[in-house]
Structure 1
Amino acid sequence: MKKIFYLLLFSCAFTFAQANRVEPPFWWSGMHNPELQIMFYGKNIAQYQPVCDGVVINNVIKTENPNYVFVTIDTKGLPSGELVFDFKNIKNKTAFSQKYMLKERKEEASQKNSFDASDVIYLLMPDRFANGNPDNDTSKELNEKADRSQPNGRHGGDIEGIIKNLDYLEELGVTAIWSTPLCEDNDKGYSYHGYAQSDVYRIDPRYGSNEDYVRLSSELKKRDMKLIMDYVTNHWGAEHWMYKDLPSYNWIHQFPGYSQSNYRMTTQFDPNASQTDARQCMDGWFVPSMPDLDQSNPLVLNYLTQNAIWWIEYADLDGFRVDTYSYNDKEGIAKWTKAITDEYPDFNIVGEVWMHDQAQMAYWQKDSKIAAIQSYNSYLPSVMDFTLHDAIGGVFNEDHSGWDAGMQRVYDNFTNDFLYPNVNSILVFMENHDTGRFNEIYKGDLNKYKMALTLIATVRGIPQIYYGSEIGMAGDKGKGDADIRRDFPGGWNGDSNNAFTKSGRTAQQQQFFEFTSKMLNWRKNKDVIHNGKTTHYLPDNNVYVYFRHNTKESVMVVMNNSSETRTFSTARFTENIKNYTTGTDVITGKKVNLANEISMEPKSVMVLELK
C-alpha cells in the first residue's frame, strides 16, 4: 500500500510540473544571431534537465531561485516549426514537455526602414490621446481602474484611439509616431504613463492587445508612416511579476535594498568622479516604485536584448526611443544597443540623454571621438538635442540680442555641431511629455509658436513635436505632470470640442493646425532640409538668418525675434544667395526680392525657397 501511495505521489508531481511562463514566447528562424536564450519559469522547475531532440543546447543556467531555468540553444540551420523541450528528472524520465515555436521570418526583415531626418515624429501619450474602445478602459486583472475625473488617473485612451485618428496625423504631416510605453503597467496608481512596466511581453489590456499593436504598425505602414517604441532598459515597475520572484539577487541593483540615484550622469565619464558617486548614478533607483535593473548581469542583459528584438520582429517596428539611456550600466547598454543594430543595421535608436552640454550629449552618440578618449562607444545612433530645447524654452521672450541672449543662444547651440559624429541624426524638439508646455510658457502666442516650429522643422536633425501643440494645447508643469499631459480635445465621446476635425476646432486651434500642417507637409519632400548643409550668420538686432543648401537648391530661413520691425540688407548673405534673385516664402507664398533689403514684422519668420 505504501509503495502504491508513493507511486501516486510521484505521478502527481509529474502531472503538475509545468512552465508557467516561457520568454520569449516564440522566436524566428534565420536570425543574424543564431543563439537564443529561453527562460522557463515554473515552481521548482530547476530540478529538471531540459533536452530537445534535434536541437543543440549550448548552455543551461540555473540561478539561486529554483523557479527559473535559462536554456540557450543554437538555431542556426533550424527550420521554422515546433520544438519540444522535454524536462527530465534525476532518473532521466520526462516530467513534462513544453512546446516552443520557431516562426518563419519575413523576407528582408533585417533591412528595417527606420526613422531618420526625413521624418517628423509625433510624440503622444496613449492614455490621453483618444479613447477608441471604451470597453477596455478598465481591466479586472489590473489594479488601477479608469477615472477621468482624476488628473493622475487612467483616462481610457488606447491603441484603437490612435488608429482611428491616423488620418488626422497624416493630414498634419507627421511621418512617425512615438508613443510612451504601451506594455502592461500594473501600478496601483499613476500607471497611465507606462514607465513602470509589469510585463514587457504584453500590451496593457487597457490599451488593447498585442494584436492591436501589430495592427497599429500595419495601419501606419499603409500610410508610409513609422512606429517607434518607447523602450525602458533602466528599470521596471515594482509590480513586475519577476520582481516579485527575482531570478537572482543581482537581477536588480541592491545596496542592499533601495537606494535612489543621485541623477548625476556626468559621473559616467568624469575622470575625477569617485566610484561611489558613479555607482549611485548608474545603480541607484530612479524612484522607489521602479526597481533598477542590473545590465551588468548577463542574464538581465540578454533578457532585455531579446525582448527588444522580439518586439521589432513581431510588431515590425521602425525604431526605439530609449528612456533614461545614460542611467544604465554604460558597458551593458552599449552591448544592448550594438546587439540590436547588428541584427538590424539601419535601425535607429534615440536615447534620452538629458544633459545640458553638447560635449556631454555627444559622448553618448555612436562613434563619438570624445568617448573614444575613454575607449568607449555606446553604439547609439541618435541623441536628443536638449541644449536646443533649453534655448527654445526662453529665447522667444528675449526681445533683444546680446552676447549670450536672444537668437545668439540658438546660434551658439549650432556652433558645437562639430562634437557630434552624426549631426543629422539628432532629435530636435520644443517640448516633450516631461518638460514645460511651449504654449504655456509663451501664453499661446501663435507668432512665437511659428518661429519655434519653423526652427525645429528646418535645422539639421530629426524634428519631434508633442501631441496637442499643433492646436495650441498648453499645460503648467508647475501644477504637476498631469497638466502637461491633458486629454486631447475630441478624443472622448461627449467632448464639447473635437480638434481632430476642422469643423470641430476653434478659430485659434485651426490657426495653429494650419501652420503646422503647411510646414510639415512642405518639409516631407525637401532633401535639402533632411540632408543639406547649414550655413548660419551671427544674429544682428535679434534677427537670425541661416541657409540649408546642397548642390541643387537652397532655402533661406529668417527669424525676427525682436519686438520691432527690422529692415536689413541682403548683401551680407551674398556667399549663400549667390546668383539667386528671389525667394518664395513657403508660409505665405509671397515672392521676396533678394537684390537689396528685406523688411520683417516683429516676432515673425520667413522660409524662402531661392530661385
Structure 2
Amino acid sequence: MFQKYNLILLTLLLLGSIKSASAQTQAFPPHWFKGLQNQELEILLYSPDGFKSLPKCKADNIKVEASFAANRDYVYLKVNLENFEGESFKIDCGRTKIEYQLKEPKTKPSGLNPSDAIYLISPDRFVNADPKNDFVKGMNEKKYGREYPFGRHGGDLAGIISKLDYIQDLGFTATWSCPLLTNNEFKESYHGYAITDHYNIDPRFGSNKLFATYVDASHDRGMKVIMDVVYNHFGSQHLLHLNPPDSNFFHFDMKKVRSNFRAVNLMDPHVSAADKKQFNNGWFDDHMPDVNQQDPHMAAFLIQNSLWWILEYGLDAFRIDTYAYPDQKFMADLGTRIKTEVPDFFLFGEIWVHMPEIQSYFAGDNRYNPNHSHLDAVTDFQFKYAVKESIDQHQGWTSGVAKLYYRLAADYLYKNPENLVTFVDNHDEARIFGELQEDLGKLKVALGILYTMRGIPSTYYGTEILMKETENHGVIREDFPGGFVGDSLDKFTAQGRTAAENEAFDYIKTLLNWRKSSEAITQGSFTHFVPADDVYVYARISASDTVLVLVNTNQNDSRKVDLNRFVEAWPLGTEALNVLSQDTCHSSSIELPKMSISILQKKK
C-alpha cells in the first residue's frame, strides 16, 4: 500500500515538474523594432499557469501600463518606447523573466508595379525538397499522402527555394505562396488558410530561419516576395481560440452560422441588418472561427503581427485573403499603420465578387466607401470572368468579347487600374486550361491578353505545363510532376514535358521575358476600341514604345482586320514586329486566324 502511494505521489510530482517545465510565459509579438513612427506597443503576455500579479518592466525612460485580461492566463502590457534608446528591456513576470529585444527593422520593400509578373504557388503541392519534415510530431492532421486530395502531400519552403531559378527563367518577377504559417488543424491543413500560430512557419513547410532564406534568396535575384495573410478567421486550434483572453476575441455566438458570402451587403442601401451581420460575423467554415477585429486587443495583435513579418524579413507585399469580410474600419486602420511605417509596401486584397461596382468599392480612395482602405490594388475577378466569356461565347451587344470591353470601360471606378492584379485562374478557381476544353489555342489567347493588358498579371503554378483539373480545391491544387520523390516524369525539364506542354511553356516564357523589355506594356497607357465581329483591339503606348494587340475570339473563322481604323494609336504605314512570329508587318491590314492573338510592336 505504501509503495503504491509512493508511486502515485511520484507520478504526480513528475507531472507537476513537466507542467512547470513546459509552462513558459510567451510574449506576442516575441520582439519588436526600433525607430518606428508609432512608438506604442501592446505586448500580449500568456502564461498557462496564470498570472498571480501584474508583470513589471525594469528600464529607464519607458512607460508601461499593465492590465489583466478577462482570462487571467493573459496580461496586456502597453509600452511607450518614445524616449527609450536601449536594445532591450526586462519584463518581470514573477518566476519568469523576459529580456524583450528591440531590433533594427528591414524596411526597404520594392513593392509591386505593372512591370511585375506574379507566380502563385500552393506550397504543399509544388516541390517536396525535404521529406524529413513531411511528418512532424504533435501535428493534428491525419491525412498524409498524395492519395488524399485534401490531405498533405509534402511540398515545402525548401522546394520553392530550389525552383527560384526556374521561376525567374520563365519570366516571373515575384512569388506569392499561399499561407506558410502554422496550420495545426485536424483536416485540410495543407491549404494554410486556417492559421493556428501567427508567429511561426508551419514546421511541415520549414522554419522561420528557412523563410528568411527564401526572402533573401529572392531579393538576391531581384525577385519580390508576397505574403498571403488572413484577418477574417483563425484556425480552430489556435491558442487564442482554444483559450481566449476574452470571449470578445471571436464571434462565438455565430459559430453555427456561415457567412452569406455577399460582400454587396456592405454597400447596399437597402440591406437587411440581419444579412449584414451574417456576412460580417458568420463563420467562413466550421473550423475557422470568425475574428472580432473590433476588439482593441485583437486588433493590436493582428496589426502588430503584420508589421512584425514585414519588418523582420523585409517583405514586399501582402495579398490579403477574404478582404471584404473583416470589420472595414479595422482594415482601414491596418492599412494606415502599415503605410505609416513602410510607405512603399504594396497591399492588395482578394475581392471575390461578380460586379465591378462591388469590386471597386474596396480598391482604395472610393468616394462611396467611408473607410479608406489604403489598398494599392485588388484582385481583378471581373477581368478573369470576362476573359473566359470572351473566349467561350460569340460576341453579343454585352456578351462574348464585349464583356471584356465593358469591364475595362469600368476602370473609371478605380484610382489606379494599372495596379489591379489580373489572372485567368488561381488556387480557388478551376484550371483555365481545363475550363477552355483543353484547347491550347484558346489558352494562348487568354494568356496573351493577360500578359499585355493593363494590370499586374498573376499566373498559377502549373499553367506552363497545362495543368487542367477543374473538379474541386483538393484536385485543382495539383502536385507538380518532378517535385516529389518517385515521380516518373520531371516536368521542370523540357525532356519531361510533352510537345504541347513545351509549346505552352515556351509561349509563356517568350511573352513574359519580352514583356519586361516593353515600356508600353509595363508603363504605357491603355486605349481600346469597340469590338466588332468577334475582334477586339487595344493599344499600349508610351513615349518610346507602341504595342497593338489584336484578338480574334471567333472559334471557327479567320478575320481580316483593316488597321486604318486604329490610326489614332497606330499611324498608317507603321512598321512593326510580330512579337510571337517574329515576322515584320507594315501593311494596312492583317489576317487573324480563328481564335488567335497577334501582338505587334512598333519598330524603333
The alignment's TM-score, normalised by the length of structure 1, stands at 0.92
What secondary structure sits across from 1:599 in the alignment?
Answer: strand
**Corresponding position: 1:416 with 2:410:** yes
Following superposition, the deviation at residue 297 of structure 1 comes to 0.7
Q: Does the 8 A contact of 1:252 with 1:293 survive in 2? A: yes
Q: Aligned runs of 1:250-269 on 2, under 5 Å?
A: 250-255=248-253, 257-269=255-267
What secondary structure sits across from 2:418 in the alignment?
Answer: helix
CA shift digits 1:228-257 (9 cap, x unpaired): 000000000001122110010110013264
CA shift digits 1:18-46 (9 cap, x unpaired): 75211111111112211111111002226
Of 415, 421, 436, which aligns to 1:427?
421
Following superposition, the deviation at residue 509 of structure 1 comes to 1.2
Of 591, 598, 603, which aligns to 1:606?
598
Number of corresponding residues: 582
Of 94, 106, 115, which aligns to 1:118?
115
Q: Aligned runs of 1:41-56 on 2, under 5 Å?
A: 41-42=46-47, 43-45=49-51, 47-56=53-62
Residue matched to 1:211? 209
What secondary structure sits across from 1:416 in the alignment?
Answer: helix
- Quickly say closer, same or farther: Cα 1:286–1:257, change in 2 above 3 A: closer
CA distance in 1, matches of 2:572, 2:371: 46
CA shift digits 1:443-492 (9 cap, x unpaired): 22111111111111111111000010111111023xx2111111011101
| Cα RMSD (Å) | 1.7
Of 133, 145, 148, which aligns to 1:147?
145
Residue matched to 2:545? 553
CA distance in 2, matches of 1:104, 1:604: 53
Residue matched to 2:180? 182
CA distance in 1, matches of 2:494, 2:328: 47
The alignment's TM-score, normalised by the length of structure 2, stands at 0.93
- Quickly say closer, same or farther: Cα 1:54–1:402, change in 2 above 3 A: same
CA shift digits 1:72-100 (9 cap, x unpaired): 1122343352311123xxxxxx5542211
Residue matched to 1:494? 486
Of 524, 535, 543, which aligns to 1:543?
535
Residue matched to 2:41? 36
**Corresponding position: 1:100 with 2:92:** no
What secondary structure sits across from 2:529 in the alignment?
Answer: strand
CA shift digits 1:336-358 (9 cap, x unpaired): 12111111111111101111111
Following superposition, the deviation at residue 503 of structure 1 comes to 2.1
**Corresponding position: 1:401 with 2:400:** no
Residue matched to 1:476? 470
Q: What is the letter of the counterpart of residue 133 of structure 1?
A: D
CA distance in 1, matches of 2:540, 2:68: 57
Q: Does the 8 A contact of 1:185 with 1:194 survive in 2? A: yes
| Percent identity for Structure 1 against Structure 2 | 36
CA distance in 2, matches of 1:104, 1:329: 31
Q: Aligned runs of 1:272-421 on 2, under 5 Å?
A: 272-371=270-369, 375-398=370-393, 400-421=394-415
Unaligned regions of 5+ residues in structure 2, if any?
1-16
Q: Aligned runs of 1:590-601 on 2, under 5 Å?
A: 590-594=583-587, 596-601=588-593
Of 563, 568, 581, which aligns to 1:570?
563
CA shift digits 1:480-533 (9 cap, x unpaired): 211111101110122111111122222111111000000111111323212211
CA distance in 2, matches of 1:553, 1:255: 58
Q: What is the letter of the counterpart of residue 321 of structure 1?
A: R
Q: Does the 8 A contact of 2:263 with 2:358 survive in 1? A: no
Q: Does the 8 A contact of 2:44 with 2:77 survive in 1? A: yes
What secondary structure sits across from 2:422 in the alignment?
Answer: strand
- Quickly say closer, same or farther: Cα 1:591–1:61, change in 2 above 3 A: farther
Residue matched to 2:522? 530
Residue matched to 1:128? 125
Q: Which moved more, 1:231-240 or 1:496-505?
A: 496-505
Q: Does the 8 A contact of 1:46 with 1:68 survive in 2? A: no
Of 571, 579, 582, which aligns to 1:589?
582
CA distance in 1, matches of 2:61, 2:489: 60
CA distance in 2, matches of 1:50, 1:19: 17
Q: What is the letter of the counterpart of residue 407 of structure 2?
A: N
CA distance in 2, matches of 1:406, 1:352: 25
CA distance in 2, matches of 1:557, 1:395: 15
CA distance in 2, matches of 1:67, 1:472: 52
CA distance in 2, matches of 1:20, 1:392: 53
Residue matched to 1:21? 26
CA distance in 1, matches of 2:252, 2:265: 19
Following superposition, the deviation at residue 300 of structure 1 comes to 0.7
What secondary structure sits across from 2:494 in the alignment?
Answer: coil
**Corresponding position: 1:67 with 2:61:** no
CA distance in 1, matches of 2:182, 2:280: 25
CA distance in 2, matches of 1:163, 1:96: 38
**Corresponding position: 1:451 with 2:457:** no
CA distance in 2, matches of 1:131, 1:49: 44
CA distance in 2, matches of 1:168, 1:80: 44
CA distance in 1, matches of 2:52, 2:323: 34
Of 431, 438, 447, which aligns to 1:437?
431
Q: What is the letter of the counterpart of residue 144 of structure 1?
A: E
Following superposition, the deviation at residue 308 of structure 1 comes to 0.6
What secondary structure sits across from 1:503 in the alignment?
Answer: helix
Q: What is the letter of the counterpart of residue 251 of structure 2?
A: H
CA distance in 2, matches of 1:442, 1:204: 35
CA distance in 1, matches of 2:96, 2:128: 43
CA distance in 1, matches of 2:22, 2:379: 48
CA distance in 1, matches of 2:191, 2:461: 14
CA distance in 1, matches of 2:533, 2:489: 41
CA distance in 1, matches of 2:367, 2:518: 30
- Quickly say closer, same or farther: Cα 1:293–1:580, change in 2 above 3 A: farther
CA shift digits 1:132-175 (9 cap, x unpaired): 10110110121125312211110000000111111110111011
- Quickly say closer, same or farther: Cα 1:490–1:240, change in 2 above 3 A: same
CA distance in 2, matches of 1:298, 1:451: 49
Q: Does the 8 A contact of 1:18 with 1:96 survive in 2? A: no
Following superposition, the deviation at residue 580 of structure 1 comes to 5.3
